[in-house]
Structure formats: C-alpha cells, structure tokens
Amino acid sequence: MNMDLTFYIRPEQYVEILEWCIENFGKSNSTWMLLANNDIGGELYFKNEEDAMAFKLRWL
C-alpha cells in the first residue's frame, strides 16, 4: 500500500519554524526577516519529521 505521508504546513506553523530557527541560530541573518515578511512558500510541505528538521537547518 502506497501512503502519502506529506505534512502540509499552515502559514502560522511556518512562522513557528522561522522562530525556531531564529531562537537556535540567531537573528544575524536577514533571510529570516525576509521570509517572515513575505510569507514565502505558501503551502509548505514535508515528507516526514526528518524532512521538516532539514528545512529548519537549511538556512544556516
């Protein structure tokens, strides 16, 4: 059986991920503010928890 395990992320969840990144990696990168202000991505999705974590770490 083939199951689609994609997790869809609402804009407010995206902001939570953004805040997590700022909390853990600092505010020095202006990319955080750009992403937060422009709501880039719309419907973001992850295949699994590892994919979500990779997204959090991608902006280092």
For 27-43, what is each residue's pLDDT tens digit?
Answer: 655 555 555 444 444 43
pLDDT recorded at residue 6: 54
CB 45 within 8 A of CB 8: yes
Range of 44's domain?
A: 7-58
Residue 1 tokens read as 């059986």
Evaluate if pTM is beyond 0.75.
Answer: no
> Is residue 52, in this structure, part of any structural domain at all?
yes
CB 52 within 8 A of CB 46: yes
> Is residue 2, in this structure, part of any structural domain at all?
no
pLDDT recorded at residue 43: 39
Rounded CA-CA distance 26/31 in Å is 11
Residue 33 tokens read as 């503010």
pLDDT, average across residues 12-39: 62
The domain total for the chain is 1
